Structure 1
Amino acid sequence: MGHRILPAARVFASAAVLAVNLLTLPAAAQTAGVTRTDLQRHDLGAPSREAVQVRVDLAPGVAFGRHTHPGEEIIYVLAGAIEYDVEGKPPVTLGAGDVLFIPAGTVHAAKNVGRETASELATYIVAKDKPLLTPVK
């Protein structure tokens, strides 16, 4: 009988972890048509800093609203056409292979302006004790 309890406990534990992750994501990260896939997260040599890599997929016409990060963001566009609106700069549309650097705390937004799913690899160098993303009204 004990051998049946272990698989059930694993399923329950996995479901609990998934539920906690979904409930703790910022509301902006759950925007319809936006898929954020966490790829890796590692401590850095600098105290209280970490590197985080996320793949972000935007459905056609979908925008990811204005937000900031508690550190730098380095973007590499994987596919599609994404318009970036970075505070203090004119909007720019980037395609596959293009890159963009966003300084810490800078308000910015992104929108898929193409007809196919657009994807980016976002690398963040951020403070560990702060939310990765903060929506801006």
Structure 2
Amino acid sequence: MKGPFPAIFILIATLWTGTAIADLPVLSTANNSDVLQRIDMPDPHYQMGLQKAVLAPNEVKVRHMHTGPEVVYVLSGEIIITMDGQPEKRMKAGESFKFLAYAPHISKAGPQGATVLATWVVEKGKSLSVPAP
């Protein structure tokens, strides 16, 4: 379809359902994280890293998994974690949680967004995060 009809239809549907566009989830497409430090471990095959990630309000990191264990501390906001076979976990500023290697999960920021600090250990040369099957 061409012209203004599709945009008008979406606007009317949004107003009719009462869903605000700001409340819709934002799928994570940009890399909003910075690796602050990588250090070699005593075993020369592994590295430890420190990473800060900033998630926009309602931003969703699609189903993925980490190639090594990770500990995450919530600096601000709220993050909701959904893991296979487990109830949803809501973590607020000041709380922490852990991921075992290769545990598939989805991360979603709360309505105010979230900033987290993560520490992880991976094999040298491997990516920290990979898509989950």
TM-score by length of 1: 0.71
User: What residue is the counterpart of 2:10 in the other structure?
Assistant: none
Higher helix share: 1
- Alpha-carbon offset, residue 113 of structure 1: 1.9
Q: 1:129 aligns with which of 102, 118, 125?
A: 125
Instruction: State the partner residue of 2:114.
Output: 118
Structure 2 unpaired stretches of 5+: 1-27
User: 1:34 offset after TM fit, Å?
Assistant: 5.3
Counterparts in 2 of 1:57 and 1:79: CA distance versus 1, 3 Å:
same
Alignment length (residue pairs) = 107
Unaligned runs of 5+ in 1: 1-30
TM-score (norm 2): 0.73
| Identical positions, percent | 32
- The reply on whether 1:40 has 2:63 as its aligned counterpart is no
Between the aligned partners of 2:30 and 2:113, the Cα distance in structure 1 is 9
Shift of 1:63: 0.4
Residue from 65, 69, 72 that aligns with 2:66: 69
* 1:82–1:94 contact (8 Å) kept in structure 2: yes
In structure 1, the partner of 2:47 is 50
Structure 1 or 2: more strand by fraction: 2
Q: Cα deviation per residue 1:75-122 (whole Å; 9 max; x = unaligned)?
A: 0000001101123321101000101011011111210122x2311101
